[in-house]
Structure 1
Amino acid sequence: MVTVFTLIQCGNKKPTLELKENSEEVIDTIEVVDLSKLTIQKPIDLNTPEGMVWIPGGEFMQGAIPEDKMAMPHEKPAHKVAVDGFFMDITEVTNAQYKTFVDATGYITVAERKIDWEELKKQVPEGTAKPHDSIMQPGSLTFKKTRSPVPNLYDFSQWWNWTIGANWKHPNGPDSNIIGKDNHPVVHIAYQDALAYCEWAGKRLPTEAEWERAARGNKKGNIYFWGNDVSVLSQMVNSWEGEFPVNNTQVDGFERRAPVKTYPPNEFGLYEIAGNVWEWTNDWYRTDHYNKVSKENIVSVNPKGATTPYNVREPYAKEKIMKGGSFLCNASYCASYRVSSRMATSVDSSLEHLGFRTVASVAMVKNMKNN
């Protein structure tokens, strides 16, 4: 069940970075990197799990490059990080894969659960009135086109609709289904829904640093996973082409979600690492986190992000970072198919354009092998 829906604004408007009261954060322990101790190559005695690929460990600059004119303040400044090598799903988790998990465990996603107002009201400002029973029903957020151009592209409510009956099995609403769409990415997955799948599969969600390392590949100074040439966007990414949110010209072939492996992979063999659907990471979102860590002026090894969440625009929200952009991303308001792009969404939110892919460390794969 969605309780708080927040997406960090897109576009060129600059949000304030001023923090409010009770927004303190203790930065994760920062280590000086010793590259000789970093796991870069896959251990020769370890087989790559089916459907995954090895992401070599390494050091890189996380965040936006100076040449990226679409970069938002919370993508800056770029700062050095290093990550150990790990395995990552080649594609976003599909409907078929999630169904296998649900059939095996009986798991019920957040969007399908009965709403508990006593629990819900703990997550909204004190004094918030209880919504009418007619809308206190299981559901999720679905996208809707507008009939005419919208003058304010910072008001997301113009194209998002709370839809009772929308969930992973009914991605566009109760009258839709996923028949014949086994290889489409699963959506309407809240953070805990993704975690439940990970636990069952013996895997986990990536950190933001791991995700960016994987998406960027070995290229340095690139805005997109393929380089800096935006003219090939429609060949590489499922995004919104045309006037958002009125008309999608579908030059890239799709109006909404595309089957996985539709577009070319990046140099590590990852498909749809940009566009199609957003992907959960395990890091808390903090508006000022990049500013804080960059002041340390040393390399952070395997960073796990902020220790506490805080969004200056939604101080009550507890949000995780999502990466990669979606089929709704458009240069006019959201060019989030860029590698450094990052957005935030509440841990109990599920959306029509949000899914995930999993990762596994060397230790986790060894454990799979032993079991």
Structure 2
Amino acid sequence: MKINKVLSLKVFAGLLLTLSLASCSKSNGTSKATGWKINDNKGGFQYNAKYKKQATPPGMIAIEGGSFTMGKVADDIMHDWNNSPTQQHVQSFYMDETEVTNMMYAEYLFWLKSVFPPSDESYMHIYEGALPDTLVWRNRLGYNETMTNNYLRHPAYGQYPVVGVNWLQAEEFSKWRTDRVNERLLEESGYLKRDSKITEDRDGQSFNTEAYLNSPSSVFGGDQDVVLRKERGRGNEGEGRNVYAQRTTGILLPEYRLPTEAEWEYAAMAMNGIREYNLYKGKKKYPWNGQYTRSNKRANRGQQLANFKQGRGDYGGIAGWPDDGADITNQVKSYPPNDFGLYDMAGNVAEWVADVYRPIVDDEANDFNYYRGNMFMKNAINPDGTIQIVSKENIVYDTLSNGKIMARNFPGKVAQVAVDDNETYLRYNFNKSDNRDYRDGDLASTRNYRNQESESNQPRMYDSPIHSISVDSLNRMVKEIDRTTKRTTLVNNDARVYKGGSWRDRAYWLDPATRRYYPQDMATDYIGFRCAMSKVGPKENKRKVRG
């Protein structure tokens, strides 16, 4: 009996040792290409085999991608034939749970003012160029000075969606957000000095994700007391190797950005709420289920499910019975979310999306992650082979058509240039940097297409107004409005799509399929935005059992 017990204990111990060795072998692993050990402490090839999945970014919701019918599937009472239905597929992505709020944007302004003080002449236009246009609230026949003076700054409006932000400003906010989130992740992982983001004197130096990945020692002005390295593996002499974080580390998140029109419409419609297996059960008119804008639930029966204009002179109902609880914008999360968990995908404020506007969606050219607006860029390289980092001396400012001056590359960022023949030679998927005009599809509708020339001496697809801004001999800005009556359209490569109804709109515009456009350098009191982020890895987080 004792012998059997001893044998049993030995067998059990042997099993434990085998499992332990198997576990070690699995964690270290061997290459299926060479048989060499991976992640050996003595050195060699190092790979993050423990990476599981992308972390959900702050303030965002995971949206599982799929196929859907983009565009108007019901009768279009407005006869707005720019939203004909097309079958599209979008990859999984993340989207902000709510619109970007005044408080979120105020944090951005605070950071810009702290790192690039406007008192420094070199930085003056960085902060000013990011400020929302608070004058959008003014109306010739209305008293709205309270919103003009208070809406952006007063804490009473802190959780209200930011407005007065043009498309370009929304894009810059998204880039800033990318860097701040990745800066925090690197700090928490020990690759940046703890609390340096608020305790160090920046003097115009900041963290940029692309700069860190290409030249870690260049961020924060090359301050090696802030940019840290961690031991990973060992070198040939058995000493620990100090390395920076890389894409292969798996810490850094992809970029925040504006959602594409296809992504926004897919997320707003949330067809998963009426899905059965691999089919949709019917159609949806709004982000919520049903064909009406009012709730039928007993607790709030009769109240509106979104913030919009019910009729002439009716922005929120009568005193004592507010249908939607608001007359202008409303605090985010004031209305039920859709089936994806997203708030205010109809009403409150309309939202910028990434796309350049065209009257058609060219699904014949592409039906996967559709997006019009690609301008392929690459990092600028110095003559010595190093990447070109924007400095205080070479900030590039853009003068917009309305005279506003904006910085498009802050100090610390990597300078960008258009791709050239080295990237486009013998390629079939793209052959130039700027693809906004690709397959516009309406050459025949423009009678004098070949005779119209822009400032760059290139044919213009659309005969839109050409406003000009110049500087005279006394360094004064001269603005000239194109007042010709021969122009036939407002569509050009600077017209961006915005989606969703707003507090100023009738119910027709609450349909996610409706689409409108606005100049990218102009702002209103009814257009805001929210950010999106691509998902890396599998389409779905949890594999579903399929019979």
Superposition TM-score tier, normalisation by shorter sequence? 0.5 to 0.7
Is the aligned partner of 1:141 residue 2:148? no
Task: Pick from 98, 108, 111 the counterpart of residue 101 of structure 1.
Answer: 108
Counterpart contact for 1:283–1:305, Cα < 8 Å: yes
Partner in structure 1 of residue 164 of structure 2: 188
RMSD (Å), alpha carbons? 3.1
Partner in structure 2 of residue 54 of structure 1: 62
Measured at CA, do residues 143 and 241 of structure 1 come closer, stay the same or move farther in structure 2, by a change above 3 Å?
farther
Measured at CA, do residues 179 and 112 of structure 1 come closer, stay the same or move farther in structure 2, by a change above 3 Å?
same
Counterpart contact for 1:80–1:299, Cα < 8 Å: no
Counterpart contact for 1:88–1:358, Cα < 8 Å: yes
Name structure 2 gaps, 5 residues minimum: 1-50, 114-125, 179-255, 275-279, 296-302, 374-435, 438-460, 465-487, 538-547
1:201-220 aligned at under 5 Å gives the runs 201-202=177-178, 203-218=256-271, 219=274, 220=280
Partner in structure 1 of residue 497 of structure 2: 321
For residues 345 and 110 of structure 1, the distance between their equivalents in structure 2, rounded to whole angstroms, comes to 19
For residues 266 and 362 of structure 1, the distance between their equivalents in structure 2, rounded to whole angstroms, comes to 20
Partner in structure 2 of residue 178 of structure 1: 154
1:212-291 aligned at under 5 Å gives the runs 212-218=265-271, 219=274, 220=280, 221-232=283-294, 234-244=303-313, 249=318, 250-287=322-359, 289-290=360-361
Counterpart contact for 1:194–1:356, Cα < 8 Å: yes
For residues 301 and 56 of structure 1, the distance between their equivalents in structure 2, rounded to whole angstroms, comes to 15
Partner in structure 2 of residue 360 of structure 1: 533
* Structure 1 residue 51, shift from structure 2 partner: 1.1
Counterpart contact for 1:190–1:347, Cα < 8 Å: yes
Measured at CA, do residues 110 and 324 of structure 1 come closer, stay the same or move farther in structure 2, by a change above 3 Å?
farther
Residues 265-302 of structure 1: CA deviation (Å, up to 9, x unaligned): 00000000110001110000112x23xx25x2x86101
* Structure 1 residue 246, shift from structure 2 partner: 8.9
Counterpart contact for 1:244–1:330, Cα < 8 Å: no
Partner in structure 1 of residue 71 of structure 2: 63
Measured at CA, do residues 189 and 264 of structure 1 come closer, stay the same or move farther in structure 2, by a change above 3 Å?
same
| One-letter identity of the residue aligned with 2:169 | D
Partner in structure 1 of residue 522 of structure 2: 349
* Structure 1 residue 48, shift from structure 2 partner: 1.2
* Structure 1 residue 245, shift from structure 2 partner: 7.6
| One-letter identity of the residue aligned with 2:372 | G
* Structure 1 residue 67, shift from structure 2 partner: 3.9
Partner in structure 1 of residue 243 of structure 2: none
Partner in structure 1 of residue 4 of structure 2: none
For residues 103 and 506 of structure 2, the distance between their equivalents in structure 1, rounded to whole angstroms, comes to 29
Measured at CA, do residues 230 and 69 of structure 1 come closer, stay the same or move farther in structure 2, by a change above 3 Å?
farther
Name structure 1 gaps, 5 residues minimum: 1-42, 114-137, 147-158, 365-371
| 262-271 or 231-240, which deviates more | 231-240
| 316-325 or 187-196, which deviates more | 316-325
For residues 268 and 83 of structure 1, the distance between their equivalents in structure 2, rounded to whole angstroms, comes to 15
Measured at CA, do residues 139 and 90 of structure 1 come closer, stay the same or move farther in structure 2, by a change above 3 Å?
closer
Counterpart contact for 1:64–1:78, Cα < 8 Å: yes
* Structure 1 residue 58, shift from structure 2 partner: 0.5
Residues 26-68 of structure 1: CA deviation (Å, up to 9, x unaligned): xxxxxxxxxxxxxxxxx95222122111111101110001345
| One-letter identity of the residue aligned with 1:96 | M
Counterpart contact for 1:95–1:182, Cα < 8 Å: yes
Task: Pick from 156, 170, 176 the counterpart of residue 200 of structure 1.
Answer: 176
Task: Pick from 66, 83, 94 the counterpart of residue 87 of structure 1.
Answer: 94
Partner in structure 1 of residue 197 of structure 2: none
Counterpart contact for 2:356–2:493, Cα < 8 Å: no
For residues 72 and 340 of structure 1, the distance between their equivalents in structure 2, rounded to whole angstroms, comes to 11
* Structure 1 residue 217, shift from structure 2 partner: 1.0
Task: Pick from 363, 370, 382 the counterpart of residue 303 of structure 1.
Answer: 370
For residues 275 and 341 of structure 1, the distance between their equivalents in structure 2, rounded to whole angstroms, comes to 13
* Structure 1 residue 241, shift from structure 2 partner: 2.0
Counterpart contact for 1:317–1:346, Cα < 8 Å: no
For residues 366 and 340 of structure 2, the distance between their equivalents in structure 1, rounded to whole angstroms, comes to 23
* Structure 1 residue 99, shift from structure 2 partner: 1.0
* Structure 1 residue 69, shift from structure 2 partner: 3.6
| One-letter identity of the residue aligned with 1:188 | G
Residues 240-280 of structure 1: CA deviation (Å, up to 9, x unaligned): 12315899644211000100000000000000011000111
Counterpart contact for 1:277–1:327, Cα < 8 Å: yes
Measured at CA, do residues 363 and 246 of structure 1 come closer, stay the same or move farther in structure 2, by a change above 3 Å?
closer
| One-letter identity of the residue aligned with 2:500 | G
SS at match of 1:141: helix
Mark the structure with the bigger radius of gyration: 2
Measured at CA, do residues 199 and 111 of structure 1 come closer, stay the same or move farther in structure 2, by a change above 3 Å?
closer
Corresponding residue pairs, total: 269
For residues 71 and 44 of structure 1, the distance between their equivalents in structure 2, rounded to whole angstroms, comes to 48
| One-letter identity of the residue aligned with 1:318 | D
SS at match of 1:327: coil
For residues 81 and 355 of structure 1, the distance between their equivalents in structure 2, rounded to whole angstroms, comes to 25
For residues 78 and 498 of structure 2, the distance between their equivalents in structure 1, rounded to whole angstroms, comes to 18
Measured at CA, do residues 72 and 346 of structure 1 come closer, stay the same or move farther in structure 2, by a change above 3 Å?
same
SS at match of 1:104: helix
Counterpart contact for 1:68–1:223, Cα < 8 Å: no
Counterpart contact for 1:238–1:276, Cα < 8 Å: yes
For residues 300 and 242 of structure 1, the distance between their equivalents in structure 2, rounded to whole angstroms, comes to 37
**How does the TM-score come out when normalised to structure 1?**
0.65
